[in-house]
Amino acid sequence: MENSPLFEDNYLVVAIATDKMEGGQVMFDEMKKDRSGGMPWMVILDSDGKELITSVGPEGNIGCPVQPAEVAHFVTMIESSSTSDEQRLEEIRQAFAKRKKD
């Protein structure tokens, strides 16, 4: 995700390595707020730092989305927090489908 042009027009992607970054675990704990789900765990914030949506979907944390329900929730995350049109959302779906095959 960090390097994908599919996201660069709507997001600044920041990956926090809790075990390698000073203060990483503290930031993760503050963002996650004792909610369930393993890693990776994602949160999308607005420009003021307000939480818009997390990677916790109807079936739990989607982690690295692979299964159809996980990908669907990831697309919901993008759809609800960006100006991506249906063409871009389909490109994202296809990128995940390709990744699953590889």
Q: What angle do CA 29, 33, 35 make, to 5 degrees?
A: 110
Task: Confirm if 52 and 81 have CB atoms less than 8 A apart.
Answer: yes
Query: Residue 62 gets which letter from DSSP?
Result: -
Report, as an integer, the average pLDDT of 80-95.
90
Residue type at 49? G
| Total number of domains constituting the chain | 1
Determine, yes or no, domain membership for 68.
Answer: yes
pTM for this model (two decimals) = 0.82
Q: Mean pLDDT, to the nearest integer, of 21-34?
A: 85
Per cent of the chain over pLDDT 90 is 31
The two tokens of residue 51 are 């939480």
**DSSP secondary-structure letter at 34?**
T
pLDDT value of residue 53: 94
Domain housing 41: 24-101
Q: Looking at residue 54, what is its pLDDT? A: 92
